[in-house]
Each structure stands twice: as C-alpha cells, then as structure tokens.
Amino acid sequence: MSQKDDKKEALKQESDDKMKTRAEERTVANHIAYWIVGVIAVLAIVVAIIGFNYVNSSLQPYNANSKEEIVVKIPIGSSSKEIAKTLEKDKVIKSATVFNFYIKAQNYNDFQAGYYKFKPSWDVSTVVKQLQKGGSAELPASTNSGDTVLVREGITIDQVGDAIQSGTKSTLKFKKKDFLKLMKDESFMKQLQKKYPELLDSTMAKKNVRYHLEGYLFPATYSVYKGMTMKELVEQMVENENNKLQPYYATIKEKGYTVQQVLTIASLVEREGLDTKNRKKIAGVFYNRLAINMPLQSDISVMYALNTHKTKLTNKDTSVKSPYNLYKNTGYGPGPFNTPSLDSIEATLNPSDRDENYLYFFANLKTGKITYSHTLAEHNSRYATTGQ
C-alpha cells in the first residue's frame, strides 16, 4: 500500500472514531435527559400527592374529636384574608391559604362582621356556612366564662388594670402589669388607630402622653370568654367608645375641637361635677378659662400628675413639674385624666352659662352645693365662709 493510501486510511479511521465518539456522547446525553425527565416527573407526582393531601387535610376539621366551642370576633371591614388569618389563629381551620383558595373557587364573598361560635370539629364548608349566616352583635351569653370586667366612670388606666386583674382572676388570670405594658405598646396602638382613626388620630398625634388610651376605654361591664386575649378585651372597650362617640364626631368637628380635647375636658367634668346640670356649668367655666388663656386649675390634673389622690393639695403639689399639671400649664395638656361617662362628654359638647362668663366654681363639701363666681375675690370669699 502506498503512502498516499495509508494517509487516506488514517483519515478515514480518524473520521470513524469521531463519529463513534459523537454517537456515544449523544447516547449518554439522551440517558441523562431521560433520567432528568423521569426525576422531574416523579417529583411532580410526589408534590401533587403531597399538595393534594395537604389541601384535602386542610379542608377537614381542625380537631374532629373536639366538643369545644370557640368564639371568634370578625371586625367590621375585615377582608377574606383577614378572616382566614383570624380563623387559623383561633384554631378553627388548619390553613388560611387553603381557606382563601376554597372561598375563591366557590365564589363566597358575603361574610359578615360580628361574634361567631365555631367548633374545631367542623370542616371548612361548615365554617363557611356559619360565616354566611352572620354573627351576633353582642358576645354570646353561653360563651361567657362567668368573669366580667367593670370599667367604672371616672377611673384611670391604672385603675382599669386593677379591674382587669380582679375581674379575670378565676379564669384567664390577666395581670395588671401585662395590661399596663400593653398600654405602652406602640405597635398595638397603631393597629387600633388604623381601625378607629376618627377616635384615635388626635391622641396618637399628641406627645408627652402617659397612656394614649387614657379616657378611651368606655365605662361599662365587659364579658370575658374562654380563649379571649388581653388585646381582644381592650379592643372591645375601644370599639365601644368608638360606637358611643359616632353620633358626636360631626359636632366635635363643627365646633373645632379634637376628640382628645373633648375627652380631656370631659374627664375633668366627670370628677368635678356630680349631675348633668353642674357638669354643663363646669364645662362652661373651663371653656371660659381657655378663651382667655387662663390655666384650667383643676385639682384633678394635679393629682394625675402626682399619680396619687389627695383631699387637699399644697402649694408644692400645685407646682409639680408635669405637662399634666394644669395649674402651671395653660391649654388642655397632653390628654384625658380618666374615663369620662357619656353624660360628661355630652355636657362638654353642650356647656351652659357661657354668657355668664363664670371663671371659678366651688363645691361645698358639707352641702354638696356648687357655687360659681366671676372673680377670684368672690371665689375666695365663698371658700372662706365654709371653713373648708
């Protein structure tokens, strides 16, 4: 064989080797591709099975063997997602995500606000049917644990803490210290402000406030139910205040006041006057003082600044350095001094005897009669004759 033929044979062999190598590479690549597709297919099947089981399980009762009843409050304006999160948090359903997919697929969107009684033994479809029926405006009596919290008219946040601790001692055992800590929780305050802006915007805008909810926990008796949280109890009080003030928001705005200002004067009126007639006249005195930039000079403000109660105040007391001391500071101060009644709020919005221009009032502790004066000399004279 010639040298030329040898070269051709070598080139042919080299070409055959390359083709064989490429064929082998294609075979390997095909095997890998088939393997990857197979793995993906298996994974897809596994995920589908897991997903199906998860969804199916999430549609089933949270606890099929439970005989418990759970009270859930659905606030006004709650979205479907918010309702789902609430139900998941309160252990009525297993998954808020699955619940949302379910109601969207079934086109359910007619849920209503209110108090609901659910059972963990219900499946999702039963829970949905209950939501469609609508809740009750008041806490169902049958779910009451037997404990109640009484918020009396004219008490402070500190005293509300006492009422909560004593009122829940047989069941939930809420602690006063935890309540006072919650009253300083800015995140919780902002959540409430978002829900009740008309009520809380003005207090949240103020600085040097001891408690933003001072004066905003409406005086009433509140039922406590199993599973209730401290936040839910407080929000019930705030919501009650908001509901009671709804008819007055327009009037407050028309008169150029803020809710914080109205509740501040009302909290002073609450403690200074014992009946509607005198509360209106006392409110008139306070507004007359504000009109001439005169300090409100209420003993209630000094005692709040001192965080104590006294029958008589000294000059040292009335000189205490505090934004709440309205003997030294003019204007409304940081905010309310206690929880005013609706009667005191109405008196504050409808003061009487403004045209009389009284600047002073004095309560005779022996007779209970309140007298009003135009001048300090006249006021001091009446005070001296009582011997108090």
On whether the CB atoms of residues 196 and 316 are closer than 8 A, the answer is: no
Between 132 and 151, where is the model more confident?
Answer: 151
Kindly tell me the sign of the dihedral angle through the C-alpha atoms of 348, 354, 358, 363.
Answer: negative
CB-count burial class (<10 Å; 0-12, 13-18, 19+) for 129: exposed
Mean pLDDT of 325-331: 94
- Does one domain contain both 258 and 380? yes
Return the percentage of the chain with pLDDT > 70, whole number. 84
Residue 16 pLDDT > 60: no
Question: Is the pLDDT assigned to residue 112 strictly greater than 90?
Answer: no
Is 382 found in the same domain as 289? yes
Q: How many CA atoms lie within 13 A of 60 on its CB side?
A: 10
**Could you tell me if residue 81 is inside a domain?**
yes
Residue where a domain stops, chosen among 211, 246, 281: 246
Same domain, 242 and 317: no
Looking at the 3D structure of the chain, how many domains does it have?
A: 3
> With bands split at pLDDT 50, 70 and 90, how would you rate the model's confidence at 131?
confident
Q: Categorize the per-residue pLDDT at 369 as very low, low, confident or very high, splitting at 50, 70 and 90.
A: confident
DSSP state at residue 87: H
Residue written as token pair 């099929």: 64
Shared domain for 69 and 41, answered yes or no, is: yes
Q: Is residue 277 domain-shared with residue 352, that is, in the same domain?
A: yes
Do residue 332 and residue 286 come from a single domain?
yes
3 occurs within a structural domain: no
Mean pLDDT on 17-46 = 69
What pTM was computed for the model? 0.68
Is the model's pLDDT at 150 over the cut of 90? yes
More confident residue, 385 or 85: 85
Residue 184 lies inside a defined structural domain of this protein: yes
Same domain membership, residue 312 and residue 207: no
Task: Tell me which residue range forms the domain holding 35.
Answer: 31-136
Domain assignment present for residue 360? The answer is yes
| 147 and 257 both lie in a single domain | no
Q: Domain for residue 2, yes or no? A: no
State the Cα–Cα distance between residues 94 and 89, nearest whole angstrom: 9
Residues 336 and 365 in one domain: yes
Q: Model confidence at 144, in pLDDT bands (50, 70, 90)?
A: low
Lowest mean pLDDT among 29-38, 329-338, 341-350: 29-38
Residue 185 lies in a domain: yes
Whether residue 131 is found in the same domain as residue 146: no
> Of 118, 136, 154, which residue constitutes the final position of a domain?
136
Q: Tell whether 257 and 348 lie within a shared domain.
A: yes
Q: Which of 134-138, 181-185, 245-249, 283-287 has the weakest average pLDDT?
A: 134-138
Are residues 93 and 145 located together in one domain of the fold?
no
Q: Own/partner pairs for 208-214, CB < 8 Å, 24+ apart?
A: 208/323, 208/334, 209/334, 209/335, 210/157, 210/324, 210/334, 210/335, 211/157, 211/183, 211/184, 212/183, 212/335, 213/157, 213/183, 213/189, 213/238, 214/156, 214/157, 214/335, 214/336, 214/337, 214/338, 214/339
Euclidean distance between CA atoms 127 and 95, whole angstroms: 13
What value does the mean pLDDT take over residues 41-61? 71
- Residue 199 inside a domain? The answer is yes
pLDDT value at 13 more than 70: no
Domain end among 136, 171, 201: 136
Rounded mean pLDDT, 52-68: 77
Residue 23, domain member (yes or no):
no
Average pLDDT, the chain: 85
Arithmetic mean of pLDDT, 219-227: 85
CATH code at position 116 = 3.30.1490.480
Identify which of 266, 316, 244, 9 has the alpha carbon closest to the alpha carbon of residue 154.
266
